[in-house]
A and B are shown apart, each in its own frame.
Chain A
Amino acid sequence: MKHMAKAILVLLALLVSWCGSATRTFAAPIDYERDIKPLLKQRCASCHGALKQEADLRLDAGALVPPEIRSEILKRVASNDESERMPPEGPRLTAEQIAALREWIAADAPFPENEIVPTKPAEHWSFQPVKRPLLPTSKHEHPIDAFLFGQRDAPPRVTAEALLRRVHLDLIGLPPTIAEQDAFATEGKLLESIIDGLLARPEYGERWARHWLDVARYADSNGYERDAEKPFVWRYRDYVIEALNNDKPFDRFIVEQIAGDELPDASLETNIAAGFLRLGAWDDQPGDPATDRYDQLDDVVSTTSQAFLGLTIGCARCHDHKLEPLSTRDYYSLVAVFNPLQRPHSGITDLAVKVGETDVYAWRETSANAPATHILIRGSATRPGERVEPAVPAILVQQQPAFAPNGEKSTGRRLALAKWIADENNPLTARVIVNRVWQQHFGEGIVSTASDFGLMGARPTHPELLDWLAHWFMHDAQWSLKRLHRLMLTSRAWQAPKNAESVVRYRRLEVEAIRDSMLAVSGRLNPKRFGPSFRPAIPLAAIEANSDKEKIWTPSEEPEASRRSIYVFIKRGLIVPMFETLDIADANSSCQQRQVTTVAPQALTLFNGEFTQQQSRTLAERLRREAGDDVDRQISLAWRLALCREPSEVERTKLREFIERESLEACCRVVLNLNEFVYPE
């Protein structure tokens, strides 16, 4: 009876499928896009696709199906032998699907000429070794201009004043002083010498450290419920400033941050550097401690791979990456690198570690024996799968680096990883950092997704230029960021006016540079360097709903409150409103580029907020002090301080009228709010 029913069902199915295919053949011929491509994608591509090529075969697009295996395909999909039937998993192809394939192949397997075929990951551009392309034939000597303009003329330069302001804001985040402007005008200084002078100043590190802190998801507190301060974390911030000012080679900078404690020449400084790994948020009272441990490791793995390699491996925590050739095995192999790390804490109190006499905010590794690391099934801490050993993502190497123990106190795993990342044969590292620096100078990266160089990331707009720069950076510049800055800023491309056609983009200053510029212009800037962060005043209205008084800090007093913005305390749970409104990076994860929003609350903050009003008054006092009572001289001074130029006659007339009618203070408030003030030429 049972067999009989089954036979009838099979018969019915055949009948239906025959009717189906017959009808379709008759009414509508096989349509590749409708009938074949979705089938290939859904049933073949997971094993024979861009990410995986079993039997060295790809079947995820018509163009890739080798003609010689067509008959084999038909045989295998229709086979009754389970050991040879394709696809091996899931239900069999329906009779209709098989018929469609047969019909398509009978018609010589046509596909659209312009079919987009995803590249094989191993062939992805950023996974290829960095080779130095030949410089193109060009009328320009500067390599960047040679790549960008070839035989075409370079765009004109912006005015000397605009260039002076641009280079100051770019490199040190502060406008040129009157003395610097005068020296530039009278001594006819070359741009090169200005660049060198700025790179030698301590303010350079204070400006550029902030860019790196965005990538490093730096904050001064742990987030979550209590949002407690990270003890002595500011030493890491100071380390970055000093590393940049000393032009520490970037390869060394990498190794110190990932494995500063494991180095044979470990020092207090390199131990502080390793604080990089501990900058993330921390839940001091987690509901589920086992999961929390993996959350912390995830923060370390994700940040490290994004910051240095431009890879978004975090997605592979729960599943093989859908879009990148990164598996859960790759992910947990990296977890295994960091798994020996222990967080020093006592209950809910986060602790620093002593290195000599100094408190350092970093993890601790105490034994050469590593705990076992397992793949976690869909990321669940309670479902350990196969055990994994430390390794780097398989797609990037022919041979794994050796992960060997490092004496008795540490596993040496991080040091091995760091050396592999910082090796000049790593295809990603130099490309990624060169592109980050380019992005800051030009407003947009050669790769616009600065922390995603994977298959889903943007393609480089100028691949050869990027490779040339990466190769030059490692081999000629010996990983010197200062030499890289100098190279970029001496190009005509960077010195061009910012407009729709130029490579260099018009972009609003970051909130730190806006605030610091205001302080510099008003003359109130306190240049004190390093040490614990200060706490700016927060408008009462912003915290009136906040019942937890612990969260509200006592604002720092002057002159502490007028230090540079890099020293502002960043509390994950309560970002200073002026900083939040003006798009500070979200410190919950590595930030590849600040967003620039343009919304009305920003106008309110800068026009009505206490900070600008205070700076306006201070600036007015300064103008009276330095320019005397002559309104024309006051106007000139204000304009030169803020915009690095003399006002036009039209502007001067309007300014004079306004000051006479209103006040110098009111005028200063207007100056600090000008579009030109926050959007430098």
Chain B
Amino acid sequence: MHPTRRAMLQSIGGGFGTVVLAGLLEHAGLLNTAAAADARAGGNSLKPRQGHFPGKAKAVIQLCQNGGPSQMDLFDNKPELSKRSGQPHPEEVEVFQLGNKNVLMGTPFQFAKHGQCGMELSELIPHLAGVSDDLCLVRSMFTENNNHPFALNMLQTGKTFNGRPAMGSWIGYALGTENQDLPCYIVLRDPAGYNTSGKMVWSSGWLPAVYQGTEFSSSGTPVLHLNPARPVTPESQTRSRRFLQELNSIHLEQHSGESELEARIQNFELAARMQLTATQVLDLKSETESTRKLYGLNSPATAGYGTRCLMARRLVESGVRFVQVFPPLDPSFQPWDNHSNLKNDLRKICGYVDQPSAALITDLKQRGLLDDVIVMWTGEFGRLPITEGTDGRDHNRHAFSTLMAGGGFKAGHIHGATDEFGYKSVENRVSVPDLHATILHQLGIDHTKLTFTHSGRPERLTDPDVTGARVVEKLLA
């Protein structure tokens, strides 16, 4: 044992700086392995670690369909709504915008049953319909706010207000990540710009900064400057980096507990490791023509989102813990927000998103990865059964549909139901915190035990004492 060195390590803060320093000391032969492992158990390491129990799944791909996809036009056929289209809704409906008539509007789209499970889905999503036997469709989701930014916060962080850590950050905090050469949480958005709330959506809040989402570009080179702009020998590069870290570690001693400083130190290490693997992992040229076609890379409509879905597969395949994919910014930065012109705009966004989303599931399955990877396809809320203007639907927090696939979620399964018009979830209702709890459970994390003390309170993603979140066993195989 080396009590003095251990004491020294503890004295400089016990955060990740400790871990980096431990690595440096270990490298220099100054620290025995047991002490190094001890130091690594600190709360902001990227090293993979066990959850509370063995999990079914290892990684999550969140296909974040922001804007509020219309459940009654895509996933939740309502014959009664179609039958009574044009008649008043018998109750007062909670609306968000002016210009809503309390008049029911049936879906203009055809539904049909698909797969052996007979899942009823809309004509707008033929590709997802093609993988219906792999889907777990939750028709009884509900959330707490009718406004995009707040509902997105809810979806991401479990609460409607700003400033809390995203689910992906919580998962990184709990489990670290399998691939030490890439960030634990990677974000892929439309290169044209940001979706609602921009970078806030993948913030680590008050969790250590190392768990925040890292953007990779899905256009051109995913990560710039992997190699020095001017020739430097690899040895010299390594020595320079080590030296930088040594100096930064000295500085950190006087600033223990500053999570951003620790994360910055760690990022130089991670950046160096990325240099070796990122290019290879993200080189889509090595994919076969049939795979590229599967994701729609050959068509302008699907190439952008398809590229991101394919990148997501490659990333989880290589051991990244959490990947978040955003849809195109078309018709708007909230592409599913069909307040008007629903018939055309919904068809348009489905045309971009349907094929690549289904391709991801097919591809993961073909590679035997679907058991290990949870795919989550959801918006922040749903839409109303009544007409807004002449041809739109307003926001609806009382009901929306979510697709889950893989990771031990029941395949070819439909859970829950909405009322006769699709306005409210009524049967086997699932809250957003319930869904979070269930995803954590599949990853081997007990949501009641995953805590981080912030301002003296042991915080949880699901805050079960307040939200009553519970694992929805019925969703699980």
Partners in one complex: yes
Surface stretch bound by A, among B260-268, B355-363, B399-407 = B260-268
Contact status of A541 and B221, CB under 8 A, knowing A603-B271, A674-B244:
yes
B220 interface neighbour in A89, A545, A654, Cβ under 8 Å: A545
| Chain B hits for A472, CB < 8 A | none
Query: Is A607 interfacial (CB 8 A cutoff)?
Result: yes
Closest chain A residue, CB of each to CB of B102: A90
Q: Does A586 contact B (CB under 8 A)?
A: yes
Q: Is B91 an interface residue (CB 8 A)?
A: yes
Whether the pair A539, B225 counts as a contact (CB closer than 8 A) is yes
Q: Does A613 contact B (CB under 8 A)?
A: yes
B224 near A605: Cβ-Cβ < 8 Å: yes
Q: How far is the CB of B109 from chain A (nearest CB, A)?
A: 23
Stretch of B32-40, B249-257, B316-324, B427-435 that contacts chain A:
B249-257
Question: Is B85's CB within 8 Å of the partner chain A?
Answer: no
Q: Mark A609-637, 1 if CB is under 8 A from B, else 0.
A: 11001000000000000000000000000
Which residue of chain A is the closest to B252 with respect to CB atoms? A675
Judge whether B339 and A674 touch: CB under 8 Å: no
**Closest residue to A573 on the B side, CB-wise?**
B192
A595 in contact with B226 given A319-B97, A500-B257 (CB within 8 Å): no
Chain B residues with CB under 8 Å of A319's CB are 96-98
List residues of chain B with CB within 8 A of the CB of A599: 183, 212, 214-215, 267
Q: Which of B192, B219, B275 has the most CB of A within 10 A?
A: B219
B92 within 8 A of partner (CB): yes
Distance A429 CA – B111 CA, assembled complex (angstroms)? 55
Query: A608 with B225: in contact, given A662-B240, A675-B252 (CB under 8 Å)?
Result: yes
Q: How far is the CA of A651 from the CA of B243 in the complex (A)?
A: 11
A666 near B236: Cβ-Cβ < 8 Å: yes
The answer to whether B244 touches A90, judged by C-beta atoms less than 8 angstroms apart, is: no
In the complex, which residues 500-531 of chain A have their Cβ closer than 8 Å to any Cβ of chain B?
Answer: 500, 506, 508
The answer for the CA separation of A666 and B233 in the assembled complex, in Å, is 11
Q: Which of A124-132, A271-279, A377-385 contacts the other chain?
A: A377-385
Given the complex, which residues of A lie within 8 Å of B203, measured CB to CB? 595, 597
B84 within 8 A of A: no
Contacting pair A545 B229 (CB below 8 A): no
Give the distance to chain A from B457, nearest Cβ to Cβ, in Å.
16
A318 within 8 A of B: yes
- Could you say which of B199, B236, B260, B270 contacts A603, with CB atoms under 8 Å apart? B270
Q: Is B92 within 8 A of A89, CB to CB?
A: yes
A378 touches B389 (CB 8 A): yes
B230 near A610 (CB under 8 angstroms)?
A: yes
Task: Tell me which of A508, A608, A609 has the highest count of chain B C-beta atoms within 10 A of its own C-beta.
Answer: A608
Q: Complex Cα distance A237/B185, Å?
A: 38
B-contact 0/1 string along A645-677, CB 8 Å cutoff: 000101100100010011000100110011110
Min Cβ gap B59→A in Å is 19
A-B pairs under 8 A by CB, number? 175
Smallest beta-carbon distance B394→chain A, Å: 9
**B5 touches A (CB below 8 Å):** no
Which residue in chain A gives the minimum CB-CB distance to B199?
Answer: A595
Asked whether A328 is an interface residue with its Cβ less than 8 Å from the other chain, the reply is yes
- CB of A114, distance to nearest CB on chain B (Å): 14
Chain A's nearest CB lies how many Å from the CB of B338? 13
Measured between beta carbons, the chain A residues less than 8 angstroms from B271 are 600-601, 603-604, 607-608
Q: Name the residue on A nearest B218 (C-beta).
A: A545
Question: Which residues, 345 to 401 on A, are CB-close (under 8 Å) to B?
Answer: 377-380, 383
Once A586-B198, A670-B240, A675-B261 are accepted as A-B contacts, the answer to whether A380 and B220 lie under 8 Å apart by CB is no
B29 within 8 A of A: no
Interface string of A567-606 (1 = CB under 8 A from B): 0000001000100010100101000000111111111110
Q: Is A542 an interface residue (CB 8 A)?
A: yes
B224–A541 touching, CB < 8 Å:
yes
Closest Cβ of chain B to A77, distance in Å, is 15
Asked if A546 is at the interface of the complex by the 8 Å CB criterion, the answer is: yes
Chain A: interface residue count, which band?
A: 35 or more
Chain B nearest CB, measured from A157 CB (Å): 16
Given contacts A322-B147, A607-B268, contact A596 B224 (CB under 8 A): no
Considering only CB atoms, which chain B residue lies closest to A375 in the complex?
A: B98
Is B274 interfacial (CB 8 A cutoff)? yes
- B221: chain A residues at CB < 8 Å are 541-542, 544
Q: Is the CB of A603 within 8 A of B220?
A: no
Question: In the complex, are the beta carbons of A508 and B229 less than 8 A apart?
Answer: no
Contact B240 A605 (CB under 8 A): no
CB contact between A604 and one of B94, B192, B226, B252 (< 8 Å): that residue: B226
Pair A601/B223 contact, Cβ less than 8 Å: yes
Complex partner residue of B224 from A586, A597, A604, CB under 8 angstroms? A604
The verdict on A380 contacting B99 (CB below 8 Å), with A90-B92, A595-B199, A613-B229 known, is: yes
From A323, A500, A603, A651, residue with most partner B Cβ within 10 Å: A603
Are the CB atoms of A604 and B225 closer together than 8 Å? yes
**A654 CB contacts on chain B under 8 angstroms:** 243, 246-247
B234 contact set on A, CB distance < 8 A: none
Query: Is B76 on the interface with A (CB-CB < 8 A)?
Result: no
Q: Which residues from chain B contact A508 at a C-beta distance below 8 Å?
A: 260
* Interface pair B220/A607, CB less than 8 Å apart: no
- Kindly provide the distance from the CB of A301 to the nearest chain B CB, expressed in whole angstroms: 17
- Interface flag for B228 (CB, 8 Å): yes
Q: Which residue of B lies closest to A378 (CB)?
A: B99
Query: With an 8 A cutoff between CB atoms, is A197 at the interface?
Result: no
Residues of B contacting A380 with CB < 8 Å?
Answer: 99, 340, 389
Given contacts A539-B224, A609-B225, contact A603 B243 (CB under 8 A): no
Contact across chains for B267 and A603 when beta carbons are under 8 A apart: yes
A91 touches B252 (CB 8 A): no
Once bound together, how far apart are the Cα atoms of A542 and B209, in whole Å? 26
Asked whether any CB of chain A lies closer than 8 Å to the CB of B343, the reply is: no
A91 and B193 CA atoms in complex are apart in Å by: 44
The answer to whether B194 has its CB under 8 Å from any CB of chain A is yes
Partner of A661, one of B210, B239, B251: B239
B-contacting residues, A419-476, CB 8 Å:
none
| Known A-B contacts A603-B267, A670-B247; A318 and B98 likewise in contact (beta carbons under 8 Å) | yes
The interface residues of chain B lying within 8 Å CB-to-CB of A679 are 258, 260-261
A543 within 8 A of B: yes
Pairwise interchain contact B243-A600, C-beta atoms closer than 8 A: no
In whole angstroms, how far apart are the Cα atoms of A668 and B339 in the complex?
Answer: 56
Provided the pairs A319-B98, A322-B96 are in contact, do residues A602 and B267 lie with their beta carbons within 8 angstroms?
yes
Q: Are A378 and B212 in contact (CB under 8 A)?
A: no
B contact residues around A573 at 8 Å (CB): 192
Contacts of A544 in B (CB 8 A): 220-221
**Cα–Cα, bound, A610→B257 (Å):** 32
Are the CB atoms of B251 and A675 closer together than 8 Å? yes
Residue among B209, B216, B241, B260 with the highest chain A CB neighbour number at 10 A: B260
From the candidates A577, A607, A676, name the one contacting B251 in the complex (CB within 8 A).
A676
Q: With A and B bound together, what is the CA distance between A577 and B224 in angstroms?
A: 8
Nearest B residue (CB) for A43? B92
Q: A600 and B183: CB pair below 8 A?
A: yes
The one of B248, B250, B274 that contacts A600, using a Cβ cutoff of 8 Å: B274
Q: Are A598 and B212 interface neighbours, CB within 8 A? A: yes
Of residues 181 through 196 on chain A, the ones whose CB sits less than 8 Å from some CB of chain B are none
How far is B178's CA from A82's CA once the two chains are assembled, in angstroms? 66
- Rounded to whole angstroms, the CA-CA distance of A598 and B263 in the bound complex is 7
B227 adjacent to chain A (CB < 8 Å)? yes
Instruction: Please give the distance in Å from B97's CB to the nearest CB on chain A.
Output: 4
* Cβ contact within 8 Å between A604 and B274: yes
Is B456 engaged at the interface, CB distance under 8 Å to the other chain?
Answer: no
Most buried by B among A588, A597, A654, A662: A597
Q: How far is the CA of A427 from the CA of B382 in the complex (A)?
A: 39
Residue of B225, B265, B270 with most chain A CB atoms under a 10 A cut-off:
B225
**Beyond A595-B198, A600-B183, A666-B232, 5 additional pairs, beta carbon < 8 A:** A42-B94, A600-B267, A604-B275, A607-B271, A662-B236
Task: Give me 23 A-to-B residue pairs in the complex whose CB atoms sit less than 8 angstroms apart, sorted by A's number.
Answer: A42-B94, A90-B92, A315-B147, A318-B98, A322-B147, A378-B339, A380-B340, A542-B217, A583-B199, A586-B194, A595-B200, A597-B209, A599-B267, A602-B267, A603-B264, A605-B225, A607-B228, A607-B244, A607-B271, A648-B250, A661-B239, A673-B244, A679-B261
